[in-house]
Chain A
């Protein structure tokens, strides 16, 4: 029983960065932009938060930090960093109409390099023996649990033992889902992603929607990087530890057929599949790697199913990946 609860809580913690990433990506893709820069943006979100909290911890000393600034400074840095990435992406793809795939992949490469450069610099400044930065004090602030969680036993551990960012991820996914399906803004955004010419003719400002969706989406995705460092990794940043979570988030978008509410459950499933090998005894290294592969396999299966069924509602936005030129007359 305890193992199961431990597995489930661990799976959910594993899932939250993915959920942030795919909620952001879904929002972006609904505007017709395939942002393959998400892995880089999440990486930048993470390192930006680390820079903020590192500077704050250095300036006041780790033992003197206050809750509010300790949380807000990294949070704002993270949002700012990922917003910049989103702005670069949308300027290139919306205003300059550059190829979205190339731009996205370039941003991922850039983001990883950016993160590793500043990660390495901070490690050098801190003079650590091991190649990592430890921000335990800030992490503890981020990981403050609900006070009554401990008293509720297994139920408390399963439902109430997470940091505020985890709940934020779920809430953001639900709100995004509601905005997309139940509001005029969502209707307009979907129209932009499906058929920008029609949206334009209806008087919707296509570029503004594309910019907003891409930038807000990037900021949401960036939070995934922050959650990873501060919560999952307990405040320890080491270069490249983030791994391929960014790509997993992109795969999750397809898995959840462009629905943020489905992405919540999908992320839990992906998180579980990602770590389940740790909970199955006596596995060889090869088998472990095979099991780690399952999220991608599941995504391919979903892709096959939706392609075969051809239900129009389950397809990506019709103009995904295409630049919009207003017909010049």
Chain B
């Protein structure tokens, strides 16, 4: 038995109260591709960042070639021939590929021509297609990724870590990348790939390590496992949360989305033939791994994304008419009562102005109502006071800048403002991300209240347990496609997990 290229023993890392990784053991041999599989927030990237020197573990050992090492910076990682390709590329746009590759390599003579030749050699060896003289800004996403990979190979990396490399690639580019990775494995390198796409795991890797909520579940050989087994390892058993759920109150079709398509400027298909109906008096949950198109879908409904196909029909409960939202401006859509409540990846950026107080933030939605050039502060002030009282916002006063409030309170202000307008469609993306338990339940109750008042609530969540207890129906999307719509009361966690990873429901 040969010595593993890299071995982790009992790695633990916490950020404040949150445990990101707990007692993780991992072994990767030479000439092997290991997939790290897990849901969002399961600690995959954190774990890899500890190997590449961005974080330092709280406890545990890292062994390279059987010897214990200390990795405190990316530079140390290079020294141990570890190279990580991050999701967000670190490249200088106006430089050529070769210039980017040699950036920071102080111990080598500065000679761009030789560097370019060396890059070409690496390309030939592993089957990349890249012009070293090409400027980064003229490159496609896949070419940029190639530059990143060559950057670490140029530095002689033997252990390559790729963080969700296929998220930005087309299927053809993914196939090419996998071919290259297999060639690297055959050349004796160790490849670690972070992913949450099961079919990629099955087709590419030799071994799979599964993480769930920071805990290490186990490593299995790909040849000895099935997608169903992996899903079970990934999502675990159901946990009961006791969220109140009322029965839908005379549901009526409010929003009919018919076959919408969305293509990004880079030519990647983000939404692919999405069709569903959201009903008033019902909570429709949307499940899926991050970046499957959830955010874009909500933005499309709110009129913030130009669609390339399909239509969005809105049955106006006040007039009884049906209107096509695709022809309307975001403002008109808002006026109809369709509210995109928040996307807390950028909680302050999307909905609130951090330096303004609660009253002024209320006014952002009503400033058009003033007469002439003067704003009217009376109404927003009353609204702010109501929200603070009803939602128990913990703030010194209504004139405190919102950036000084804690995450949960900011969230309450945001959602309070949106529901104050009595929306007919309320869309909420990850509304409880980063909130403590009590604040989360406050938000769930708010959504339930809106449902009982007859609004069509669309809830994008990441915790399957929450989705299964809060939503009446759950729609699962994967890579921009709907893989299934299931009943929230009878759904099984494994079923949802499989749908999330791209296995389409059989009865559809």
- Docked CA distance A203–B72 (Å): 13
Let me know if B95 and A203 touch, CB within 8 A. no
A198 at the interface (CB under 8 A from B): yes
Question: Residue of B at shortest CB range from A202?
Answer: B104
Let me know if A187 and B99 touch, CB within 8 A. yes
Let me know if B103 and A198 touch, CB within 8 A. yes
B91 at the interface (CB under 8 A from A): yes
B74 at the interface (CB under 8 A from A): yes
**Residue among A183, A197, A198, A313 with max Cβ neighbours from chain B (10 Å):** A198
For residue A252, give the distance in angstroms from its CB to the closest CB of chain B. Answer: 21
- Docked CA distance A202–B75 (Å): 8
- The A172-211 residues at the B interface (CB cut-off 8 A) are 183-184, 187-188, 190-191, 194-195, 197-199, 201-204
Question: Residue of A at shortest CB range from B88?
Answer: A197
Let me know if B91 and A195 touch, CB within 8 A. yes
Given A187-B99, A188-B104, verify A203-B92 contact (CB < 8 Å).
no
A329 at the interface (CB under 8 A from B): yes
Let me know if A194 and B95 touch, CB within 8 A. yes
Q: How many residues of A contact B (CB 8 A)?
A: 20
Let me know if A312 and B91 touch, CB within 8 A. no
Question: Residue of A at shortest CB range from B109?
Answer: A184
| Chain B 88-129 interface mask (CB, 8 Å, partner A; 1/0) | 001111110001001110100010000000000000000000
Let me know if A191 and B95 touch, CB within 8 A. yes
Inter-chain residue pair count (beta carbon < 8 A)? 55
- Docked CA distance A313–B135 (Å): 10
- Docked CA distance A211–B360 (Å): 41
- Docked CA distance A313–B95 (Å): 9
Residues of chain A with a CB closer than 8 A to B135's CB: 312
- Docked CA distance A190–B95 (Å): 9
Question: Residue of A at shortest CB range from B94?
Answer: A312
Let me know if A183 and B54 touch, CB within 8 A. no
For residue B169, give the distance in angstroms from its CB to the closest CB of chain A. Answer: 21
- Docked CA distance A312–B92 (Å): 12
- Docked CA distance A194–B54 (Å): 22
Let me know if B74 and A312 touch, CB within 8 A. no
Q: Which of A198, A315, A318 contacts B90 (CB 8 A)?
A: A198
For residue B480, give the distance in angstroms from its CB to the closest CB of chain A. Answer: 29
- Docked CA distance A191–B93 (Å): 9
| Chain A 284-320 interface mask (CB, 8 Å, partner B; 1/0) | 0000000000000000000000000000110100100
B178 at the interface (CB under 8 A from A): no
Residues of chain A with a CB closer than 8 A to B75's CB: 203
Question: Residue of A at shortest CB range from B104?
Answer: A202
- Docked CA distance A201–B425 (Å): 44
Given A312-B137, A329-B54, A329-B55, verify A204-B103 contact (CB < 8 Å).
yes
Let me know if B93 and A312 touch, CB within 8 A. yes
For residue A259, give the distance in angstroms from its CB to the closest CB of chain B. Answer: 13
- Docked CA distance A312–B90 (Å): 18
- Docked CA distance A24–B95 (Å): 23
Question: Residue of B at shortest CB range from A195?
Answer: B92
Let me know if B94 and A199 touch, CB within 8 A. no
Question: Residue of A at shortest CB range from B138?
Answer: A312
Question: Residue of A at shortest CB range from B46?
Answer: A329
Q: Which of A184, A195, A312, A315 contacts B106 (CB 8 A)?
A: A184
Given A191-B92, A318-B94, verify A184-B110 contact (CB < 8 Å).
yes
Let me know if B93 and A318 touch, CB within 8 A. yes
Given A187-B99, A204-B103, verify A194-B55 contact (CB < 8 Å).
no
Question: Residue of A at shortest CB range from B108?
Answer: A184
For residue B138, give the distance in angstroms from its CB to the closest CB of chain A. Answer: 9
Residues of chain A with a CB closer than 8 A to B91's CB: 195, 198
- Docked CA distance A205–B54 (Å): 16
Given A188-B103, A188-B104, A204-B104, verify A195-B54 contact (CB < 8 Å).
no
- The B39-95 residues at the A interface (CB cut-off 8 A) are 54-55, 74-75, 90-95
Residues of chain B with a CB closer than 8 A to A198's CB: 90-92, 103
- Docked CA distance A183–B54 (Å): 29
Let me know if B54 and A191 touch, CB within 8 A. no
Let me know if B110 and A195 touch, CB within 8 A. no
- Docked CA distance A111–B93 (Å): 36
Let me know if B74 and A203 touch, CB within 8 A. yes
Residues of chain A with a CB closer than 8 A to B99's CB: 187
For residue A98, give the distance in angstroms from its CB to the closest CB of chain B. Answer: 18
Let me know if B94 and A313 touch, CB within 8 A. yes
Residues of chain A with a CB closer than 8 A to B90's CB: 195, 197-198, 201-202
Residues of chain B with a CB closer than 8 A to A183's CB: 110
- Docked CA distance A329–B104 (Å): 23
Given A201-B90, A329-B54, verify A191-B137 contact (CB < 8 Å).
no
- Docked CA distance A312–B54 (Å): 31
- Docked CA distance A204–B106 (Å): 9
Residues of chain A with a CB closer than 8 A to B54's CB: 329
Residues of chain A with a CB closer than 8 A to B104's CB: 188, 191, 199, 201-204
Residues of chain B with a CB closer than 8 A to A187's CB: 95, 99, 102-103, 110
For residue A188, give the distance in angstroms from its CB to the closest CB of chain B. Answer: 7
For residue B72, give the distance in angstroms from its CB to the closest CB of chain A. Answer: 13
Knowing that A315-B94, A329-B54 touch, tell me 18 more A-B residue pairs with CB under 8 angstroms. A188-B103, A191-B95, A194-B93, A194-B95, A195-B91, A195-B93, A198-B103, A199-B103, A199-B104, A201-B90, A202-B90, A202-B103, A204-B103, A204-B104, A312-B93, A312-B135, A312-B137, A318-B93
Q: Please, could you name 15 A-B residue pairs with CB atoms under 8 Å apart, sorted by A? A: A183-B110, A187-B103, A188-B104, A190-B92, A190-B95, A191-B95, A194-B95, A198-B91, A198-B92, A199-B104, A201-B74, A312-B135, A315-B94, A318-B93, A329-B55
| B residues in contact (CB < 8 Å) with A | 54-55, 74-75, 90-95, 99, 102-104, 106, 110, 135, 137
Q: Which 5 residue pairs of A and B lie closest in terms of their CB atoms, listed nearest first?
A: A202-B104, A184-B110, A198-B90, A203-B104, A202-B103
